[in-house]
Structures are given as C-alpha cells and as structure tokens.
Copies of this chain bind each other. A is one copy, B any other.
Amino acid sequence: MKDAMEFFQQSTGRWRSQRTTHHLAFKRAEPGESQIEVEALAADHPKVIEICQLHEVDPSLAIGGAYVAWHGSMAWDKDDENHQGSTVFALIPDAETPRRGTLLRERGYAEIVPVAGQYHIDDEDGLVLTTEYETMSSTERFWFANPDLRMRTSTVKRFGGFSTATFCTETRIAETSDAEAPAAESTKYFSYFGW
C-alpha cells in the first residue's frame, strides 16, 4: 500500500463485523456484531474540505477521506444504549513519509469536539491508528486477510492501564445480497472510525 487512502479504497462497500471485547480486569469476553458501510472520498470532496477547515488545516494537504456509517449491538448493552451513527474523516499525510500522517474526524465518541489521530501503514500493510482522548487512549490495527476479509484489533487504556482488548473479523457483504435487518441496538465502542 502506498498510502492510507488505498486502505479506504479497499474498504469501500458494506461489511458485517463480528466483534469480541476482552474485559481484562474481569477476564470476561463480550460478543457483538455490527454492519458497516464505508465510502472512500476524493481529496476535493466538500466533506473532506469541511473537516480540514474545522481543524484549521489547509485542505490542499488532504489526500482524501472516507464516510463511515454503522449500526451494531453488543451483548451487554443496556436498553438505552443506541449509538448507530456515521462519521466523516480526512487524511493528512506527513510531508516526508506518505505512509504516516494525521487523521482528522468530525467528532469523537465521548467528546463532541473534533478529534485527530495519528496513523501509519506498517510493513505488513496494516493500518495502525493511535488516538488520545481526555481520560483514555486507543491503539487500533486494521488489516486485510484477503480483499473480502478485514480484521482489526484494538486496545483501550484508561488512566494509564489497559482496560479492554477487542478483536473484529469483518466480512464483505456482496452487492447482490440483501442487507440484513439492522440490529436494534448499538454500543459505545471506542473506535476512531466509528464502526
């Protein structure tokens, strides 16, 4: 992969995600699932330009972005947790190292303010993303096992200690198949991309 846009071009489409969160302190595993829609956006897309302006970054530095929508559910959801949604973000590569840069997003999960994360493509073509929030930080790694199977691990630190580790296996939904009915509930899962 030459840059992170290639990752989002490969991600474009609809995906079914099977997720397990390991709660480290409790030694419990929580299952979940969600459906995700990803669309790569060109650098001159109005939404990409808008995100750059929101972060006060020159839009001409963006190589593109993506639109992501999701709805999902986790086993331990309470009735009032319904967090389906969508987000848009923009990619600003470092000048010297195109496989490394900053990801700008319109809004965070816990926060209402815009959030920026640091990304790089590692030598296995995995996309590694680290995000610092006010009381937590997350490290996510996304990679393709094949063009129709994407995987993801993420760890969340709260107050300096690891609290959860999550694994997702994401299978592409063929364009010809009908979408499954959306799950009734979704979860407050900390992922920079939303899904």
**Residues of chain A whose beta carbon lies under 8 Å from any beta carbon of chain B:** 16, 18, 20, 22, 24, 27, 29, 31, 33, 122-124, 126, 128, 141, 145-146, 149, 151, 153, 155, 162, 165, 167, 169, 171
Contact = CB atoms under 8 A, between A and B. Distances in A.
26 contacts: A16-B27, A18-B22, A18-B27, A20-B20, A20-B22, A20-B29, A20-B167, A22-B167, A24-B149, A24-B169, A24-B171, A27-B33, A29-B29, A122-B122, A122-B123, A122-B124, A123-B123, A124-B126, A124-B128, A124-B141, A145-B155, A145-B162, A149-B162, A151-B155, A153-B167, A165-B167
Given A20-B20, A27-B33, 10 more contacts: A18-B22, A24-B149, A24-B171, A29-B29, A29-B31, A145-B155, A146-B162, A151-B153, A151-B165, A153-B167
Contacts of A167: 20, 22, 153, 165, 167
Nearest to A151: B165
